[in-house]
Amino acid sequence: MKRTHSPVAAFAAEEAGSVKWFAQMLPVDSSSSSHPVERAVALGRVLESRNEVVEAGRVWQRVRTVQTAVQSRIVRVVERWEMTEQGSLRCAGRDMFLADQLIVAQAPGADRASVERLLATGGMQTGESISEGLFTVRLSSSGLDAVPQALRFLSAHPDLVTAAGPDGVGFGAGLPNDASFGSQWGHHNAGQSGGTVDADVDAPEFWDIIESAPGLVVAVLDSGLNTSHPDLLNLSWVNPGEVPGDGIDNDGSGKVDDTGGWDFVSNDKNPADDHGHGSNVTGIMAATRNNAAGIAGMIGVRVLVCKILNSANSGFTSHLIAAVTYARQRGVPVMNLSLQNYPLDIFLYQEFTACEDAGILLSVCAGNQGFNNDEIPNYPSCYPHSNLIAVGSHDRTDARWSGTSFNPSNYGATSVDLFAPGRDILSPILGTSYSSYTGTSQATPYVTAVCAAIKYANPSWTASSIKASVLASVVTRPAYAGQCSTGGRLNAANAISHAIRQLPDRDSDGDGHANLLEYLAGTKVDARTSRPAVFHQTAGGYLKTGMTRVIRPDARLEVETSRDLQTWTPGGVTDFSTGGQLLGGIPISGDGPRFLRIRGVASP
């Protein structure tokens, strides 16, 4: 009998909405699905399965244990299915967990020995420490009922355990596609390969303003970093509190010799990439520029490498929580999370809240299933924290990437903030190779790089101000209307200029010239060697001052005069400027001293 998705005819003999009816109606898992959980199950081996009615005739749940290629341990897959108005089944949620592991919070005042005795009574034992009072617990069974039984057991002991939940499994959100594609259209789109001219982040214009963020550290939580790749050399953060190779935890982080980050998968000091996803993501953000080879990263920063994804590009919720905690405690202001399809988790929510309180910005990809995240949330991007930017991906034609065959970007009028380039993005991978990946994973480091640049320009800003500048400066297009909260895509040059205009007198590189003045002079805010060329002259009975300028739509230069160096005004200054040169002067007279200065003024 041919399978149908309409509850009619073929199943008339079955009670509508029964478990048996539901089982017969379920579609076969697809190995080509854009959902990584469905893909992993289709390519794996189902060990146990159970179907349950949640709401008669409307909502069902399927729970399975599966041996997959993405994790060496057995996983537990929980799906929620709903009946649509058209009478077909729709998967409204699909989460993967470890079948034999929990995350447990120890009760305040409880001692660890008592907790361990309780766990032993229930056939469990403690695993890895995540943060203070939070740790994993291994179960003795990986059967279908092992996790719910363990949770029921622990819930009866609130004096020792305040909360517990299953340890989720999530994924990186980008996959390799065309490795021969060699043009970084996302940086600068000149219409190559059928693209739309200027459907990019305006990287060259961004670099005219800022090229690096000296001293700034960005955490990348991913599959690690290929530190020997020619385009990724010397990017890793160096832990100032750790003595290399002495076998001692010098900085008290709980990690011995973590001189350049940490591998949370193997629990060691070597966060080397064994997949390629992390290197690709990091390269988009920070690959070396002007080295006559490879690609150009968006911004020069140091990278705190936190390896949480394995060689199959999948990782545990517990490792994600531990890595976010570790990065927060190291004081990083910006984190990149090119991660998708993690289950909703109270402990990760709490750690994100700690980051929110600390003013740390979380740049998170929206996911690659082509789903509306307003209706089917994708975590971690759909946590409601104000310090989180959710990033979708657009293609070279200036529209959300919606290709049905390969990693279509998720969207959401309220749950996705903006779009950035994410289709065929070339960047380093393993060895000395490069590959073009497609996904919201690739869009996210574009946003992260801009956030890092803004933090460098305005170091007093916390996540809310950084996010506000990024979102206020998007390029809006009809194609993005209703697809994200801003209705637009990232523009790096617009974002940094917006941030500079908010604190016009800030001098980031300490060269004596305010950022806004340098922006209008066409010099860089991150390099003391790049300074405005100010000059003075007397001619035709005037004392004049001037400089080379760049005409901007959002700010202007003006010459001001003062008699006491306290009160300044442009009144009384004659303008002798030409297109590329500002020049203003005052008549030379004998009525006391008068002074001139050049000042940048942001447009209303």
Catalytic positions, written as ranges: 222, 277, 441
**What is the DSSP annotation of 325-337?**
HHHHHTT-SEEEE
323 φ/ψ angles, rounded to the nearest 5 degrees: -70, -40
Go through the chain and tell me how many residues it has. 604
Alpha-carbon distance of 127 to 553, in angstroms, equals 58
| Sign of the C-alpha dihedral computed for residues 161, 166, 169 and 170 taken in this order | negative
User: Can you read off the two tokens belonging to residue 407?
Assistant: 């990693």
Which of 507, 518, 489 has its CA nearest to residue 600?
Answer: 518
**Nearest alpha carbon to residue 224 among 278, 301, 285:** 278
Residue 315's DSSP bridge partners are 170
Q: How far apart, in whole angstroms, are the C-alpha atoms of residue 514 and residue 525?
A: 8
- How is residue 400 annotated by DSSP? B
Pair type for strands 175-176 and 434-438: antiparallel
Within 107-210, strands assigned E span 124-131, 134-139, 161-172, 175-176
Phi first, then psi, for residue 131 (nearest 5°) are -155, -175
Contact present, 74 and 166 (Cβ < 8 Å):
no
At a CB cut-off of 8 Å and minimum separation 6, what does 315 contact? 169, 170, 171, 264, 265, 308, 309, 339
In terms of Cβ atoms closer than 10 Å to its own Cβ (0-12, 13-18, 19+), residue 349 is middle
CB 53 within 8 A of CB 22: yes
Residue 389, CA atoms < 13 Å, CB-side half-sphere = 37
Instruction: Note if the bond before 380 is cis, omega within 30 degrees.
Output: yes
Cβ atoms of 218 and 335 within 8 Å: the answer is yes
Matching residue, tokens 């057995």: 74
Strand, coil or helix: what is 236? strand
H or E segment at 19? helix 19-25
Instruction: Give the 3-state secondary structure of residue 170.
Output: strand
Sign of CA dihedral 383, 384, 388, 389: positive
Three-state SS string over 490-524 comes to CCHHHHHHHHHHHCCCCCCCCCCCCHHHHHHHCCC
Sign of the Cα torsion 379, 382, 385, 389 reads: positive
CA distance 312 to 303: 22
3-state secondary structure of 238: coil
Q: Are 349 and 375 in contact (CB under 8 A)?
A: no
Enumerate residues 6+ apart whose C-beta is below 8 A from 266: 307
